Chain A
């Protein structure tokens, strides 16, 4: 049961602004399970909707409003939820300093930007075991950091607003900063709601010093957090245990009593609360309150095996809770159980879908994971420099003629298979599926559904310059969702 839209809005307060963008008009069709493994579930099958929401679903994450510089706004993106954007709707990012194997790079809090207009020519040697000073690929077309991450320039008379301040760049130009870190846009973002320059998902250090989209805090009570998963904005307790709802409950009424309580524990709410933003109180007994979200009482699962868990949702009628889930993948994609322990996104045959990760080893840590960047890294890993071998090892997922997707998270991209870059108009091209504007792949070594043999293929077990499975659920790795 989903709380009616009216209830959600009635419970929201005027203090919260919700802007919904990019909920495309295109609709997914019937499941395409022609030759998928029996355990695979189609993109629009009811079971799979636990990982994404219908484009008709109006539920998006509410957030805490905070002061912003004039013209700035909050955009609620399909996948990342609320993010700050400039006056043109471009998502804003910061680049906090982080350590890699042999040193650190990124911006220091309160200091001028380390992202400059210099075109860096050599490696920084931050990633062991290779030395610094190697000439970077494609130097003739290599951009500077500023080319890829334009700084958000502040007016000369700009003043500090809330967490927003102004930091002078090395050349004296004022740049907006958030929480002390200089702010940028990404040239990969083309429309309001695009968050293609980075992700809110945790990134392991070996993945590089990444840019992080910034946004306001989610409008959840202090007992809760929202974490970014591959399936959306997952609601968890402050201790990061998953919370669940039950189909057996009624709006703002818990029917979980006696035996039910041996497996499920109501999430206790304080005695005095303000009901807002979809959050209400269920009075279980005098003096005992339970939190409800969008009219549904919340519980933790007594037999959960870890944090950020999906175990409770294996019990029929029980569901994980999201402030907003991601939109469905295109027709033909499925969800597949895998021997790695969990569920992955798969193609129509049940073959695991892989994402390619790449950051170069310059001090600018530029992404090399998309067709608009150098392909030298990817070609080395999947084909020893040979594009044809690459296509055999990690073939693109071909989009059928006329293929369409919901929203902009998934798109059809024309790729020149000989270079791996976008095809020019009129050029022979492969039309392939792309996620967040990066092609997705299958792995030739996956000889049957249910295996993820390509996970870890590349440098630093696929995090740095390599391939990782598109994982929704990972029972043995604490659901450490990987971008």
Chain B
């Protein structure tokens, strides 16, 4: 619903600051007639074409990882079972113990030093509306950023910009339609300012459409909504658009698909999830943020990333799981009081698509659906 356009120099959000320059081209392109039809009958859709857990990095990690990066499976194995000992180890006490521990680490303590990311700066959003002692400041100076996941993964090579998880989370998504995550905005009168829009998340069924370069994605393709198998990924959020930035209210629970090739499962449960996206009629770019359920995070990691692949990025699943539990900062278990979720942010890029709805009525996933 339309409201008065405010002063565009005031109250810019994190995403606005972060992305204004990058989107200058997109803003210009938005004025072109060919793309002016993207918003139709108050609707506009976008499909995810890039995703990455938000990790703030300095050169060589010297600022945020002053003690170096964490050890991975190979390094930990070499310490626990040194070849120099002269002992012949059994597969049960070494290899199989390590693999079993990745799935059953609740009773054991972390045997290695774990390096949390340091420093006051991180990407993300202020999830709780407060400025606390453990909060970060965004690179643009916004205070109160909640992203404890960054502390856990910031000094693990796999999650850094050129890391194996960062790369394959996006690259493997392209050919694996299970991850075809989409949003559709409805009730949109104006893509720059509208104080009441609805955002519905879906999974799509179609391939992504690249442009002529073969590397970028072209707006304007179509995606059929997966209403048969993808019901649990349909969620709805209320939001508003201010100066071209979509901000939604949080919802209690969002199931976000993330699987690697050959695996018939994989998702994160994100509690208190919300979107902050800079919009044009070609692209949406910004954050999906909230408190990711710790067990869903580790389960996705263990079932989608072999120890072999984790080793590429010095990522020890059991060490990370312990760090996540230690740093979890929300959604305490009603019985134990132990926090079950950790503040987080995902950097997203979505490209405009036309959504094809096989059925007229949208059925949103039950909030109590599958908790893992």
Residues of chain A at the chain B interface (Cβ within 8 Å): 101, 122-123, 127-131, 133-137, 204, 206, 305, 337-342, 344, 361, 376-377, 380-385, 389, 445, 447-448, 450-465, 468-469, 471, 474-477, 480, 482
Contacts and interface: CB of A to CB of B under 8 A. Distances in A.
Interface in B75-127: 77, 83, 88-92, 94-97, 99-101, 103-104
Q: How large is the interface on B (under 10, 10 to 19, 20 to 34, 35 or more residues)?
A: 35 or more
A321 B372 CA distance: 37
A127 B73 CA distance: 14
Contact of B228 (A101, A337, A455): A337
Interface stretch (B24-32, B47-55, B285-293, B306-314): B306-314
B281 interface: no
B265 A130 contact: no
B307 A129 contact: yes
B67 to A, nearest CB: 23
A384 B103 contact: yes
A384 B303 CA distance: 16
B266 interface: yes
Interface stretch (B6-14, B255-263, B271-279): B255-263
15 contacts: A130-B94, A134-B88, A340-B229, A361-B91, A381-B100, A384-B103, A385-B97, A452-B265, A453-B303, A454-B303, A462-B263, A463-B262, A469-B264, A475-B205, A476-B177
B370 interface: yes
Contact of A123 (B74, B95, B264, B369): B95
B302 interface: yes
B88 A459 contact: no
Interface of B: 73-74, 77, 83, 88-92, 94-97, 99-101, 103-104, 176-178, 205-206, 226, 228-233, 259-266, 299, 302-308, 311, 369-372
Given A206-B306, A476-B178, A376 B264 contact: no
A380 B264 contact: no
B339 to A, nearest CB: 21
Contacts of B233: 339
Given A384-B97, A457-B103, 16 more contacts: A130-B95, A135-B89, A135-B91, A137-B92, A206-B306, A341-B229, A380-B99, A382-B103, A385-B100, A453-B303, A456-B263, A458-B99, A461-B260, A463-B262, A464-B306, A469-B265
Most interface-central of B89, B95, B233 (chain A CB within 10 A): B95
Given A342-B229, A447-B371, A469-B264, A456 B99 contact: no
Contact of A457 (B101, B178, B262, B302): B302
A471 B101 CA distance: 27
Contact of A456 (B73, B77, B265): B265
A85 B263 CA distance: 35
A329 to B, nearest CB: 19
Contacts of B94: 130, 134
B280 to A, nearest CB: 29
Contact of A474 (B205, B264, B308): B264
Contacts of A475: 177, 205, 229
A129 B370 contact: no
B308 A376 contact: no
A380 B371 contact: no
Instruction: Across the A-B interface, give the 7 residue pairs with the lowest CB-CB distance, nearest first.
Output: A456-B303, A380-B96, A340-B264, A384-B104, A380-B100, A384-B100, A455-B264
Nearest to B371: A447
Contacts of B103: 381-382, 384, 457
Most interface-central of B233, B262, B299 (chain A CB within 10 A): B262
A57 B38 CA distance: 54
A395 to B, nearest CB: 16
Contacts of A344: 264
A448 B371 CA distance: 10
B178 A448 contact: no
Most interface-central of B92, B299, B371 (chain A CB within 10 A): B92
A476 B274 CA distance: 27
Contact of A380 (B97, B176, B228, B302): B97
B260 A445 contact: no
B303 to A, nearest CB: 3
A471 to B, nearest CB: 6
A341 to B, nearest CB: 5
A477 B100 contact: no
B91 A453 contact: no
A476 B176 contact: yes
Given A131-B83, A376-B96, A389-B104, A451 B265 contact: yes
Contacts of B371: 447
A448 B370 contact: yes
Contacts of A376: 91-92, 96
Nearest to B267: A339
A135 B266 CA distance: 34
B76 to A, nearest CB: 10
A445 B299 contact: yes
A408 B77 CA distance: 43
B370 to A, nearest CB: 5
Most interface-central of A460, A471, A482 (chain B CB within 10 A): A460
Contacts of A471: 264
Nearest to B365: A339
Nearest to B307: A129
Most interface-central of B89, B99, B265 (chain A CB within 10 A): B265
Nearest to B231: A339
Contacts of A342: 229, 264
Given A453-B372, A474-B264, A134 B73 contact: no
A384 B107 CA distance: 11
Contact of B264 (A337, A377, A385, A456): A456
Contacts of B259: 340
Given A305-B205, A385-B92, A476-B178, A341 B226 contact: yes
Nearest to A482: B262
Given A129-B73, A384-B104, A204 B264 contact: no
Contacts of A135: 88-91
A476 to B, nearest CB: 4
Contact of B101 (A384, A458, A464, A465): A384
Contacts of B226: 341
A452 B96 contact: no
A124 B305 CA distance: 22
A134 B91 contact: yes
A101 B308 contact: yes
Contacts of A206: 306
Nearest to A341: B229
Contacts of B95: 123, 130, 134, 361
A315 B367 CA distance: 32
A478 to B, nearest CB: 9
Contacts of A459: 99, 306-307
Contacts of A457: 103, 302-303
Contacts of A341: 177-178, 226, 229-230, 264
A451 B91 contact: no
Nearest to B310: A129
A361 B97 CA distance: 15
Nearest to A444: B372
A123 B92 CA distance: 11
A140 B265 CA distance: 38
